[in-house]
Amino acid sequence: MITDPLVHYPVTTATQVALIQIDDYGPWTVTPEPRREMDLQYLQASLFADFAAFVDGAGGYAFYGRFDNMYAVGNEIDPADFERFQRRVRNRYPVTVSIGVGLAESPVEALGEASERLQAAGSAQDGNRREALVIGDDEPADTGMVTVGHFDVVDVTGSLTDRENAIDVSLAIRRATLELATYLRTEYDSLAHFVGGDNIIAICPDIPPQAFDNAIEHVRVETDIELQVGIGRGPTAQAAGEQAKEALEQCRATGARIHGDGQLPADD
Amino acid sequence: MITDPLVHYPVTTATQVALIQIDDYGPWTVTPEPRREMDLQYLQASLFADFAAFVDGAGGYAFYGRFDNMYAVGNEIDPADFERFQRRVRNRYPVTVSIGVGLAESPVEALGEASERLQAAGSAQDGNRREALVIGDDEPADTGMVTVGHFDVVDVTGSLTDRENAIDVSLAIRRATLELATYLRTEYDSLAHFVGGDNIIAICPDIPPQAFDNAIEHVRVETDIELQVGIGRGPTAQAAGEQAKEALEQCRATGARIHGDGQLPADD
Amino acid sequence: MITDPLVHYPVTTATQVALIQIDDYGPWTVTPEPRREMDLQYLQASLFADFAAFVDGAGGYAFYGRFDNMYAVGNEIDPADFERFQRRVRNRYPVTVSIGVGLAESPVEALGEASERLQAAGSAQDGNRREALVIGDDEPADTGMVTVGHFDVVDVTGSLTDRENAIDVSLAIRRATLELATYLRTEYDSLAHFVGGDNIIAICPDIPPQAFDNAIEHVRVETDIELQVGIGRGPTAQAAGEQAKEALEQCRATGARIHGDGQLPADD
Amino acid sequence: MITDPLVHYPVTTATQVALIQIDDYGPWTVTPEPRREMDLQYLQASLFADFAAFVDGAGGYAFYGRFDNMYAVGNEIDPADFERFQRRVRNRYPVTVSIGVGLAESPVEALGEASERLQAAGSAQDGNRREALVIGDDEPADTGMVTVGHFDVVDVTGSLTDRENAIDVSLAIRRATLELATYLRTEYDSLAHFVGGDNIIAICPDIPPQAFDNAIEHVRVETDIELQVGIGRGPTAQAAGEQAKEALEQCRATGARIHGDGQLPADD
């Protein structure tokens, strides 16, 4: 199905990804007895809101991951910024966070590096690991253009939100997200994440438009859900993402299923 | 596989579920041009944090759903409370919310009713629908015991978090969640939702322990991921959920895969 | 100056006031070294925002006091509510709070009782005092009508905000606030507090309109600043305050310096 | 009393001060009817918390002023940062903010300039003024060293907090603050503001230690309250303030009433 594999495109750039992990969180949530569930929901959502604002300040994109393990693509975040975020968390919350940072050709490899570095610093449930910040000596390296694909479901309001039981709408979109994210992770070393509503954002290496077309086709075959995607490129996730959002507006306006800068190289 | 179907159990109680929807949110996010993505992430996460705190105050459990469509099980929330939440949102945020409430024998039916009532009040993208609150004349009816199953992954830290790339851990847990939620929705009219880390919470009608066993088995077959579950029952989601969390602690301590009040009827 | 002293009015009711104190806060702010000042500002403001929302849920009025010592008038707050607030703080913040509650004929006496009870439970800088909740055995007693005076500066925008250096506007309003609060505390056992902009809210025992007139005159003589006031009465601070705000709107509309229920007894 | 007037010190630097004003806030709070007071308290405190975090990111110090008029000393904040803050407010809150920025030899003059610029852009209650950002063409000029004095009350816990009615502690500290702020504004063109607890922070031009001694003496004579102060200098308010906090710790440790860099020039 993939006619235009990744290796045809010279990779000259790298992407920085950070993994943020709440220290010793599991034990904390049940000490001295299980804490109130809605308090945990409040804490996790607030922490992610703060994290998103922090990452935004550095031109990046943040994803809530599993809430106790969040991640961010932010090519211009420097170590002092991460320390500042750790300090803020310590001064605002009853928990602390450790951070691993990776830099690699693809977002998935970079997150893999970040994961390994954090794991090497101690277990997520090691009470002695507090506020580790592990960046590695390959930093700072040149980071390059980020490619962002911003997907949503074609006419989600008319076909789902205004018609179906909310649980079925949720399950349908979650299935589409999972199929898309798994496919993009496996085939294109990309990180895709649900961002609310019917929106999914993918952080990708320098992949061709055909890759996005393949992904949309894969989701349709597996789930019967039709996605569209706006594609953007830029020096930061924020710049690329903004372009992707504008491109998605063009999809909505024109009915095209794919729109954005990603198509330009195909014209060569 | 299900040897103990739901109909064997007399259903004498009802569950109240509320669906909260941001009014005209899609258009707002792109007017006059696409709003900054991290600002939207901040807004959605903050709104859910506030919603969780509100629902907690009424003894309920809140789930972020798709963030622009959140829901809550809260048997004791009355109309004045919902109006208060709408007022708070209006006075804190640049958006407003509409709310549909349903009451039915199962959580899924109740959310279905809530969805239909909200849909009847206007489209999610209808600029004229503002702060609708649709409860129906079947309220207030007696609500009864809520059953909560609190699931997590057996040894997630040792087997996944401390070993794998964070994206693969996320995808694995999301797949387990999706399989569990789809199965429980289809077979047992239950609402299951990811709540962070490796935790999934299900709001159920009065189903037997065998149902939870079936669900765990289904997830293992489909995803190779082993779940355990604590079961609780109580007059509110909060009370039932607290019991379920304590029961899950027993699973962790004893190695049992299922623990909790749900097992008591099985002794008969 | 006071022609209509308090004793002419039969006092049949009591007011409940709560004092909230961050535990061991001073030492925490400098351990292991002075914490970032803006982080402390963030923490204090967030904690007060949460406190205001909590108190609102119980029909009360909250004041930020000195931020590490906040207080609330909330006649219907019961002990379980205070425990819930303590739990939320513990689960959201890196600090904990102790609470003293007093019930007395006047707001000032009630806050005095609350202060004494908290002091008896341990010093504000005693590392061993954590989450004390001291209510006393005089509770629950009948609480009665609360009187609220909502003051602001006549034409503050035209005369100050749009004309003067912001620091001079601030100082002028702070001086008016201080003179008003000191006078009302000394002469009428009332608690007055700045609430933002040019607004000051006073929680009073059952004092006559003449008392408010005296207070306004006192501020004018001492500071040359002209205040107006709306007066409300109700079973909760919230109900009384809402009435006071509506009465203040009448002042703005009619040019009257005093408006509100407080005037009704004067017609007798 | 002032033996060492300001003009003896060559002023070679300038300070940047920003005034943030909620647009058309007064009318908004009463439209269509008076909004819930505790909702306003929540909004104002949340907005200030966000503002403090924003200003911190630029090395500055933020003060809540009157909440609807906040200000910040932040020598390194550039116009794009202010636009970013305006965008965040617009995307998080039901209100918007306008900003005036001034640059002058003293903090008071700078805030005066900021005030005038904002006033020239429209009234605080002009519904047509939205998100004005008025910086002036004198920017960017070189800003220099900032002097910060961090004051607190000697033994406040032992003498006041653990002994008196909380209202009387509040009033005493508010009176000390007001006397200090008025004196420093009049005599030394400095901005002083209460920051919680018993702490007052002053942003000063390049004044000698004698000035701080005079201020402390003035407060003692007027209010019988004894203050101590740590003094710091640095290129940003944050750097100067951190030094001042450490110097204040020295006061606490040694019993000295004044400590800090400000004393160094006196040795010449």
Residue A263: predicted pLDDT: 46
Residue with structure tokens 């904990």? C96
**What pTM value is reported for the model?**
0.94
Q: Read off the pLDDT band of D136 (50, 70, 90).
A: confident
Six-digit token pair at B159?
Answer: 């087997």
Identify the CA nearest to A126 among candidates A18, A26, A19.
A26
Q: What is the ipTM of this complex?
A: 0.93
More confident residue, C141 or C264: C141
How confident is the model over D43-55, as a mean pLDDT?
Answer: 97
Q: Do B197 and A171 touch (CB under 8 A)?
A: no
Residues of B in contact with D130 (CB under 8 A): none
Mean pLDDT check: name the lowest of A49-63, B18-32, B136-150, D199-213: B136-150
pLDDT single digits (tens) B33-55: 999 999 999 999 999 999 999 99
Residue C141: predicted pLDDT: 59
D245 touches chain A (CB under 8 A): no
Residue with structure tokens 């063409």? D137
Residues of A in contact with C83 (CB under 8 A): none
Residue D5 has pLDDT above 70, yes or no: no
Mutate: best of D33, D44, D91, D96, partner B, most B CBs <10 A = D91
Residue B141: predicted pLDDT: 59
Residue C36 has pLDDT above 80, yes or no: yes
Residue B12: predicted pLDDT: 55
Residue A8: predicted pLDDT: 37
Q: Read off the pLDDT band of C190 (50, 70, 90).
A: very high
DSSP run (H or E) holding C72:
strand C69-73
Q: Do C93 and A94 touch (CB under 8 A)?
A: yes
Residue C173: predicted pLDDT: 98
Spatial distance between the Cα atoms of B257 and B259, rounded to a whole number of angstroms: 7
Six-digit token pair at B80?
Answer: 């004045």
Six-digit token pair at A15?
Answer: 């992407």
Please name the chains neighbouring A, where neighbouring means 3+ C-beta pairs under 8 angstroms.
B, C, D
A66 touches chain C (CB under 8 A): no
Spatial distance between the Cα atoms of A74 and B81, rounded to a whole number of angstroms: 41
Q: In Å, how far is D38's CA from the nearest CA of chain B? A: 10
Indicate the burial class of C127 (C-beta count within 10 angstroms; 0-12, 13-18, 19 or more). exposed
Six-digit token pair at B83?
Answer: 């109006």
C-alpha B66, offset from chain centre: 11
Residue B139: predicted pLDDT: 52
Contact D103, D16 (CB under 8 A): yes
Long-range contacts formed by D84-87: CB under 8 A, 24+ apart = D84/A57, D84/D54, D85/D20, D85/D51, D85/D54, D86/D131, D86/D133, D87/B36, D87/B39
Identify the CA nearest to B22 among candidates B58, B5, B46, B1.
B46
DSSP run (H or E) holding C71:
strand C69-73
Spatial distance between the Cα atoms of C110 and C118, rounded to a whole number of angstroms: 12
DSSP annotation string for D110-150: HHHHHHHHHHHT--TT-TT--S-EE--TT-S-----EEEEE
pLDDT single digits (tens) D117-130: 999 999 999 999 99
Six-digit token pair at B58?
Answer: 């009424």
- Give D112's contacts (C-beta < 8 A, 6+ positions apart): C165, C167, D102, D104
Contact A202, A106 (CB under 8 A): no
Q: Do B92 and D93 touch (CB under 8 A)?
A: yes
Please name the chains neighbouring C, where neighbouring means 3+ C-beta pairs under 8 angstroms.
A, B, D
Specify the 3-state DSSP secondary structure of C19.
strand
Which neighbouring-strand residues pair with B4? none
Residues of A in contact with C88 (CB under 8 A): 39, 42
Please list the alpha-helical segments (H only) found in chain C.
25-29, 37-57, 79-92, 107-121, 156, 166-188, 209-223, 237-254
Q: In Å, how far is C49's CA from the nearest CA of chain B? A: 11
Q: Read off the pLDDT band of B129 (50, 70, 90).
A: very high
Residue C268: predicted pLDDT: 35
Spatial distance between the Cα atoms of D227 and A56, rounded to a whole number of angstroms: 41
Range 78-117 of C in CB contact (< 8 A) with A: 87-88, 90-94
Spatial distance between the Cα atoms of C111 and C103, rounded to a whole number of angstroms: 8
**CATH C-level class of C15-135:** alpha beta
What's the CA dihedral at B51, B54, B56, B60 to 10 degrees? -80
Residue B266 has pLDDT above 80, yes or no: no
Residue D5: what are its φ and ψ, rounded to 5°?
-65, 160
Contact A107, A73 (CB under 8 A): yes
Structural Rg of chain B based on CA atoms? 19
Six-digit token pair at B132?
Answer: 């609708």
Average pLDDT, chain A: 91
Spatial distance between the Cα atoms of D252 and A111, rounded to a whole number of angstroms: 47
Q: Read off the pLDDT band of C137 (50, 70, 90).
A: confident
Residues of A in contact with C36 (CB under 8 A): 87, 91
| Number of neighbouring beta carbons within 10 Å of residue D159 | 15
**Chain B residue nearest residue A51, CA to CA:** B42
Q: Catalogue the E-assigned strands of B53-129.
A: 61-63, 69-73, 97-104
Q: In Å, how far is B57's CA from the nearest CA of chain C? A: 9
Residue A141: predicted pLDDT: 59
- Percentage of chain B with pLDDT > 90? 85
How confident is the model over D16-27, as a mean pLDDT?
Answer: 97
Q: Read off the pLDDT band of D268 (50, 70, 90).
A: very low
- Percentage of chain B with pLDDT > 70? 91
Q: In Å, how far is A63's CA from the nearest CA of chain C? A: 21
Contact C90, A95 (CB under 8 A): no
Q: Measured between alpha carbons, how far is residue D127 from residues D26, D28, D130 in Å?
A: 10, 10, 7
Spatial distance between the Cα atoms of B235 and B214, rounded to a whole number of angstroms: 25
Residue A74: predicted pLDDT: 87
Q: Do C42 and A91 touch (CB under 8 A)?
A: yes
Contact B123, B129 (CB under 8 A): yes
On the question of a cis peptide bond just before residue C5, with omega within 30 degrees of 0, the verdict is no
| Number of neighbouring beta carbons within 10 Å of residue B18 | 28
**CA dihedral for C170, C173, C179, C184, sign (positive or negative):** negative
D36 touches chain B (CB under 8 A): yes
Size of interface B-C (CB pairs under 8 A): 6
On the question of a cis peptide bond just before residue B140, with omega within 30 degrees of 0, the verdict is yes
Helix axes A37-57, A79-92, angle to 10 degrees: 150
Domain boundaries, chain D: 15-135, 146-259
**CA dihedral for C193, C195, C198, C201, sign (positive or negative):** negative
Residue D4 has pLDDT above 70, yes or no: no
Average pLDDT, chain B: 91
Q: In Å, how far is C263's CA from the nearest CA of chain B? A: 31
Three-class secondary structure assignment of chain A: CCCCCHHHCCCCCCEEEEEEEECCHHHHHCCCCCCCHHHHHHHHHHHHHHHHHHHHHCCCEEECCCCCEEEEECCCCCHHHHHHHHHHHHHHCCCCEEEEEEEECCHHHHHHHHHHHHHHCCCCCCCCCCCCEECCCCCCCCCCCEEEEEEEECCHHHHHHCCCCHHHHHHHHHHHHHHHHHHHHHHHCCEEEEEECCEEEEEECCCCHHHHHHHHHHHHHHHCCCEEEEEEEECCHHHHHHHHHHHHHHHHHHCCCEEEHHHHHHHC
pLDDT single digits (tens) A212-222: 999 999 999 99
**CATH C-level class of A146-259:** alpha beta
Residue D79: predicted pLDDT: 87
Spatial distance between the Cα atoms of B140 and B135, rounded to a whole number of angstroms: 9
Residue D141: predicted pLDDT: 59
Size of interface A-B (CB pairs under 8 A): 205
